[in-house]
A = this chain, B = another copy of it.
């Protein structure tokens, strides 16, 4: 258990991240390059993410289904920009049951093609529309540079795929899902995000328009936290997804797709974590409260554990997720550090003196040391805990938002722009020309993260070329 000290974020942000993932037991490296296993603690966090999203999807009329893992290679080739984007990343099955396959199969990198095939089969009439399907699964993309949660060969996500009668309906769906992701990120994960439109260069392979939510990590870099694509009629034409309209005319559908992945776990780590480790937002934390009983003698133990069981029972009855750390052979101090590393929002310490006084010590994970500690009566503890969890949730969000605002600049010229993207986001006018975007990327390593949907500032001049610009974009270095 004698481990090296966790590096601070200032010392080595990259190594801090990797160590937090491993030490908090969120994930581990797989024996296959670039793959990971998500350990029970990390998976419980992901389960809470899926539940929060799935509830929102179902409330807006979506249903889940399961499409196959294996896709005929020829399917990927049917939409021309799709194949250009994905073929370098494919994992290909060439042998099945001991024999060479006639047509190689790819492990899905995403499912537009196989789903397009079925939509063409199932959709006949305007009465069959819209089709609103989501699936929870994993996909494989042969990435060269990988990092736990952020970029792995196999990753978990949900992919929604919908088909509509009109362009307007497809656009409304695309925007609705972006709003759902925004709401989820802000309310459940306490991660402030900027919803916006992607530039042509950053669009999904096969999309007409890609929307995304962008978040600022603890080192000032950007992370694309979810995407929503308006696919136009591209896949509908490639797969012949058609319907008979009310006048009996055959029309191509308009389709969308949208996804949020285990990448989002990386965002939670980097947005909220501190030099002691992980800090989890209460609404998503596998354990919202950890109780550490403190005792020396058997007599003390019996009195302490009686109080602990009572408190656990009351908290659990109020749907608060509680862990009691009953490990033997490790000190309370070790347990405090361990659960701080693992980011549990609230700790309850309970020893013989607390039993005598009818109180407990509450320690907030987001405020280290004495500042975050308070003595609270056991009477009424559940309400106090519930209230404090809400405060922590809000406080994490506010802190992250203040950090993002403090590290977002509106540069007046390209010199200021270059300085801004060294440390955070630059919110700057862009003419919309891909050449300016490419030159900025080459010279500063900053990419166009998104063009925010809200543009209260009116037109201006491109930060690079000085030509007329209708909109401002967020530029940043990104994960």
Contact = CB atoms under 8 A, between A and B. Distances in A.
Interface of A: 28, 30-32, 35-40, 42-44, 46-47, 63-72, 75, 87-98, 104-105, 107, 114, 117-118, 121, 127, 133, 137-138, 140, 142, 144, 153-154, 156, 327-329
A88 B98 contact: yes
Contacts of A138: 66, 69, 137
A122 to B, nearest CB: 8
B94 A92 contact: yes
B43 A64 contact: yes
A113 B96 CA distance: 20
Contact of A70 (B32, B38, B67, B75): B32
A71 to B, nearest CB: 7
Most B Cβ at <10 Å: residue of A75, A93, A114, A118: A93
Contact of A91 (B30, B96, B140, B327): B96
Contact of A153 (B70, B94, B133): B70
A64 B93 contact: no
Copies in the complex: 2
Contacts of A127: 327-329
A8 to B, nearest CB: 27
A464 to B, nearest CB: 34
Nearest to A125: B329
Given A37-B65, A93-B107, 18 more contacts: A30-B67, A31-B72, A35-B68, A36-B68, A40-B64, A40-B65, A40-B133, A43-B66, A66-B156, A69-B154, A90-B97, A90-B98, A91-B93, A91-B95, A92-B96, A93-B94, A107-B107, A127-B327
Contacts of A121: 28
B140 A69 contact: yes
A66 B37 contact: yes
Contacts of A95: 90-92, 94, 104
A323 to B, nearest CB: 12
A327 B125 CA distance: 13
B92 A65 contact: no
Contacts of A28: 118, 121
Nearest to A327: B127
12 contacts: A28-B118, A30-B68, A31-B114, A32-B70, A38-B65, A42-B65, A47-B64, A69-B107, A87-B98, A91-B93, A95-B104, A107-B107
A146 to B, nearest CB: 12
Given A97-B88, A97-B144, A107-B93, A39 B68 contact: no
B31 A117 contact: yes
Contacts of A64: 40, 43-44, 47
Closest 5 CB pairs of A and B: A97-B142, A40-B63, A92-B95, A38-B66, A35-B68
Contacts of A43: 63-66
A70 B154 contact: yes
A20 to B, nearest CB: 18
Contacts of A327: 127
A205 B64 CA distance: 34
Contacts of A328: 127
A68 B142 contact: no
Contacts of A94: 92-95
A396 to B, nearest CB: 25
Contacts of A96: 90-92, 142, 153
